């Protein structure tokens, strides 16, 4: 089965007014409605590094992505919670990710890949599909031998899809997006970050446009 990168917003708490009230509590002030002056306040908070008011808004996602993407993103831990499907307990046939296109290796190893695609896309896909079939066959054979799933899973490849719940503060996710939407981030990781950014821009429009650089935003 072919897996697709997907990001679903599951829940959220707070809004732009939440940020404003968190900031104004220092003066024992509370507002019921957002005004233009509040937009300026949010801008000021973001520009001058007053992050704590943005930590009072939360959002939760359910994300489907290949293992090699998940393992990059799970490095972000501050202000975030992560719970993932476990192959210790789940032993049904996995889905495997296939990229939209195979990219060329960059001359600079630090960059990972180039925007240019390799010419042999069909051959690359056949190699990947063969690898998927072999891995799945080995996994099924181990399970038929009554090997426990927590050991049988070791033969599954990094392009196997996984799912996780990712929850955290607005500020925490802005840090993720400001890093993972950079041009030098891996394209598949940028895809997840872009979906997160799009959702946050809808839920917290004023805060998000000030927390995440304008060239990183794209609401589709």
Active site annotation includes 87: no
Q: What's the domain range around 9?
A: 2-85+162-216
How far is residue 92's CA from residue 95's CA, in Å, rounded to a whole number?
10
Q: How far apart are CA 63 and CA 96, in angstroms?
A: 15
Same domain assignment for residues 111 and 9? no
Count up the domains in the chain and report the number. Answer: 2
Q: What is the pLDDT along the chain (220 residues), one digit of tens a residue?
A: 678 999 999 999 999 999 999 999 988 989 999 999 999 999 999 999 999 999 999 999 999 999 999 999 999 999 999 999 999 999 999 999 999 999 998 887 666 787 888 999 999 999 999 999 999 999 999 999 999 999 999 999 999 999 999 999 999 999 999 999 998 899 999 999 999 999 999 999 999 999 997 655 544 4
pLDDT number for residue 114: 76
What is this structure's pTM? Answer: 0.92
Q: Is residue 91 part of a domain?
A: no
Position 219 scores a pLDDT of 40
Same-domain pairing of 138 and 188: no
Q: Is residue 127 part of a domain?
A: yes
pLDDT of residue 144: 97
In a domain, 184, yes or no: yes
Domain stop point among 131, 155, 179: 155
Determine which one of 87, 175, 180, 190 is catalytic. Answer: 180
pLDDT for position 220: 40
Among residues 133, 155, 177, which one ends one of the domains? 155
Last-in-domain residue among 155, 176, 202: 155
The CATH number for 181's domain is: 3.30.1360.170
Q: How high is the pLDDT of residue 106?
A: 83
Clarify whether residues 65 and 32 are in a common domain.
yes
Residue at 37 is within a domain: yes
Q: Residues 150, 167: one domain?
A: no
Contacts of the segment 151-158: beta carbons below 8 A, 24+ positions apart: 152/91, 153/87, 153/88, 156/87, 156/94, 157/67, 157/96, 157/131, 157/132, 158/66, 158/67, 158/68, 158/71
Give the model's pLDDT for residue 165: 98
Digit-coded pLDDT (tens) for 125-145: 999 999 999 999 999 999 999
141 contacts 51 by C-beta, under 8 angstroms:
no
Please tell me whether residues 119 and 206 are part of one structural domain. Answer: no
Same structural domain, 76 and 175? yes
Judgement on whether residues 148 and 181 belong to the same structural domain of the protein: no
In a domain, 90, yes or no: no
Predicted pLDDT at 112: 76
């Amino acid at each position: 089965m072919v897996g697709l990168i997907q990001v679903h917003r599951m829940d959220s708490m707070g809004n732009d007014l939440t940020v404003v009230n968190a900031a104004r509590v220092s003066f024992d002030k509370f507002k019921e409605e957002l005004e233009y002056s509040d937009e300026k306040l949010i801008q000021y908070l973001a520009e001058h590094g007053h992050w704590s008011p943005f930590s009072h808004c939360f959002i939760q996602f359910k994300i489907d992505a290949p293992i090699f993407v998940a393992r990059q993103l799970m490095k972000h831990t501050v202000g975030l919670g992560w719970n993932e499907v476990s192959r210790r307990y789940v032993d049904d046939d996995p889905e495997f990710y296939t990229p939209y296109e195979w990219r060329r290796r960059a001359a600079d190893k630090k960059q990972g890949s180039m925007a240019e695609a390799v010419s042999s896309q069909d051959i690359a896909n056949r190699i990947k599909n063969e690898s998927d079939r072999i891995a799945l066959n080995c996994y099924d054979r181990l399970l038929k031998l009554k090997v426990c799933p927590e050991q049988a899973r070791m033969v599954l490849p990094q392009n196997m899809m996984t799912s996780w719940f990712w929850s955290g503060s607005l500020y925490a996710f802005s840090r993720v997006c400001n890093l993972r939407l950079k041009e030098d981030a891996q394209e598949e990781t940028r895809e997840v970050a872009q979906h997160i950014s799009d959702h946050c821009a809808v839920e917290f429009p004023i805060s998000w446009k000030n927390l995440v650089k304008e060239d990183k935003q794209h609401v589709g």
